[in-house]
Amino acid sequence: MKTYLFILILAVSHHALAKVDLRQVDAFIDQTAAELNLEPQWVRSIVSQAKHQQSIIDAMNRPAEKVLQWHDYRNIFLTDKRTLEGVDFWNKHEAVIDQVVEQSGVPAEVIVAIIGVETFYGRIKGNHKVLDALYTLAFDYPKRSKFFTKELKNFIQLAHEQHINPLEAKGSYAGAMGYGQFMPSSYRAYAVDYEADQVIDLINNPQDAIASVANYLNKHKWKSGGAVLRQVTKPSVEMKFNQLKPHQKDHKTQAEYTVLQLDMADGSQQYWQGFHNFYVISRYNHSHMYVMAVYQLAEAIKAARQEVSS
């Protein structure tokens, strides 16, 4: 019996290793060390401890944005609890948010709503090791291997620059980190040191996270005072709108010509026209259901806060 179990364990281990071509891993280590001017042995000491996780592949193949209808997706994020905790988060960080809004032009409710949708205001940041997630997706997810290989390289560089422990950092199954769930490349490109203390910490510091979410939207050309969405009647053919189902990802169409069709719980449909800032939020997450959830949560938080203060 013990011999059988030993053979079974070896078989399972071999199956897990077989999913990753170790020659590709070695080539990645050498290339990354050379490109980033890092000690090869240091890079290898990190990557060699990464573990392939089949659960990450499974999660990537069934994201909520692809398997849920709008009314189910909406019920996850548009709750009284998430709205009221959004008000609390806003009040707690009001001084920081006010300053960030003035500098970026991005409304407070949108900043708060993104953090609310992404991590429930920092409560749910993800339990996957970022290293495992990026390693698995870089070397065993062919359709997006190029993207995640780049993100793994950025993660190693980020660990070197910001002294993040690459073996301990946790995030989403896609390797996103912190309050705002930034991928490593976005972390390096858009993260802000709000307190000017020479440390950019999006994982534990909500002030850096607030400033970074706003900076991300600002750098993607947020229009201060501009609209995000408005509800419209069903578009006619003559209107020449590009009608999209919420699962679709449209990167080329001008936002002003996009109408989002949402399936409601009673079987009816709603139609919402997107504007430029709709497109900007979609740079954060390309799912149109995600943008709608952020928009509606932002409006709910803003209304609840005004009601409390009135």
Rounded to whole angstroms, the Cα distance separating 195 from 273 reads 38
Strands (DSSP E) contained in 23-134 are: 128-129
Percent of the chain with pLDDT over 90: 76
pLDDT digits (tens, 9 = 90+) for 260-310: 888 899 999 899 988 999 999 999 998 889 999 999 999 999 999 999 877
Distance linking the first and last C-alpha atoms of the chain: 72
Among this protein's residues, is 118 annotated catalytic?
Answer: yes
Range with the lowest mean pLDDT among 118-127, 242-251, 267-276? 242-251
pLDDT of residue 257: 56
- Whole-number Å distance between alpha carbons of 279 and 272: 13
pLDDT digits (tens, 9 = 90+) for 85-102: 999 999 999 999 999 999
The better pLDDT of the pair 12, 1 is held by 1
Tell me, rounded to whole angstroms, the distance of Cα 294 from its chain centroid: 12
Homologous superfamily (CATH) for 19-62+127-176: Bacterial muramidase (1.10.8.350)
Looking at 95-104, 180-189, 194-203, 301-310, which range is the least confident one?
A: 301-310
Q: Which of 85, 102, 118, 168 is catalytic?
A: 118
pTM of the shown model: 0.88
Q: What is the pLDDT of residues 35-62, one digit of tens each?
A: 999 999 999 999 999 999 999 999 999 8
Are the beta carbons of 172 and 126 closer than 8 angstroms? yes
Domain with CATH 1.10.8.350 in the chain: 19-62+127-176
Contacts of 14 (CB under 8 A, 6+ apart): none
